[in-house]
Amino acid sequence: MLLEIKDIHVHYGKIAALKGISVDVDEGEIVTLIGANGAGKTTTLKTISGLRSLSAGRISFDGKDISKLAGHKRVLAGIGQSPEGRGVFPGMTVEDNLYMGAYARKGDLSKELAEVYDLFPRLAERKSQMGGTMSGGEQQMLAIGRALMADPKVLLLDEPSMGLAPMLVQQIFSIIETINQRGTTVLLVEQNAQQALQIAHRAYVLETGRVVKSAAAADLLDDPEVRAAYLGGDLGEVPAEASVETEGKRLD
């Protein structure tokens, strides 16, 4: 087990945001967390990366208890996070933003930089542009690229498709698959449950701070409860006849 989250409780003041969440991520997997607004997905990722502290439970990474480890040491250990809402440094160039992702590491970063530019050619074209002037979708790519600069063993992604045009959404999901196929384990949080379940191996459903379901992603895609709550209800596919009906007919 690469990452083991065991019965964690997290509070904001007196409010319990996580009420005993357990999630396992094996090396090489894409695991996705789905759930409604406020379910605790972002809080779970922030607790793994050390931005929030837990009041009970335990997080192990690579066999070690990291529950109390400082955030920058978790980055060094191999936990990379691309935060919700991007967090790009607006007054720094794209390339300097990327280097910030590896600030805790020493040594030559040319290999990591080349890999990020290979995944995101747009970032290479725009490497001298200020981060703050990049478009929303480009900033999303920059945030993911920055997390990859530290060469993480596991990449935590919080809503990578948020605010992207449909074509870019497809592209981001296929890049996440490529990142995974190149050897990085991924823990993905997504509003876009349909797409997330299509690329994930396993998934957990969160409701108000608890895990209410966990299964192979393919099984959740067929689960009637999950379909009704998170996938827009019906079984998706438009029957083939529907398009045949109008074929050759003018609609005006």
Binding site for ligand ATP (CB under 6 A): 12, 15, 17, 35, 37-43
Alpha helices in 21-108 (DSSP H): 41-49, 71-77, 94-100
Q: How far is the CB of 164 from ligand ATP (least distance, A)?
A: 16
Task: For residue 246, give Cα distances in angstroms to 57, 152, 239.
Answer: 58, 51, 13
Q: How far is the CB of 31 from ligand ATP (least distance, A)?
A: 15
Q: How far is the CB of 99 from ligand ATP (least distance, A)?
A: 28
Q: How far is the CB of 42 from Mg ion (least distance, A)?
A: 3
Among residues 146, 242, 200, 147, the alpha carbon closest in space to that of 34 is found at: 200
Instruction: Answer with the entry of Mg ion, ligand ATP, none that 12 interacts with (C-beta below 5 to 8 A by kind).
Output: ligand ATP
Point out which residues bind Mg ion (CB under 5 A).
Answer: 41-42
Question: Residue 38 or residue 136: which is nearer to ligand ATP going by CB?
Answer: 38
Instruction: Answer with the entry of ligand ATP, Mg ion, none that 167 interacts with (C-beta below 5 to 8 A by kind).
Output: none
Among residues 82, 78, 52, the alpha carbon closest in space to that of 190 is found at: 82
Q: How far is the CB of 80 from ligand ATP (least distance, A)?
A: 18
**Helices and strands of the chain, counted as H and E runs:** 11, 10
Note the residue count of the chain. Answer: 252
DSSP string, 183-224: T-EEEEE-S-HHHHHHH-SEEEEEETTEEEEEEEHHHHHT-H
Q: How far is the CB of 219 from ligand ATP (least distance, A)?
A: 22
Question: Residue 38 or residue 183: which is nearer to ligand ATP going by CB?
Answer: 38
Instruction: Answer with the entry of Mg ion, ligand ATP, none that 103 interacts with (C-beta below 5 to 8 A by kind).
Output: none
Question: Residue 41 or residue 202: which is nearer to Mg ion going by CB?
Answer: 41
Q: Report d(CA 94, CA 73) in Å as an integer.
A: 24
Question: Residue 32 or residue 149: which is nearer to Mg ion going by CB?
Answer: 32
The 3-state DSSP class for residue 79 equals strand
Q: Report d(CA 76, CA 56) in Å as an integer.
A: 24
Amino acid in the structure at residue 244: V
Question: Residue 41 or residue 74: which is nearer to Mg ion going by CB?
Answer: 41
Question: Residue 17 or residue 229: which is nearer to ligand ATP going by CB?
Answer: 17
Instruction: Answer with the entry of Mg ion, ligand ATP, none that 40 interacts with (C-beta below 5 to 8 A by kind).
Output: ligand ATP
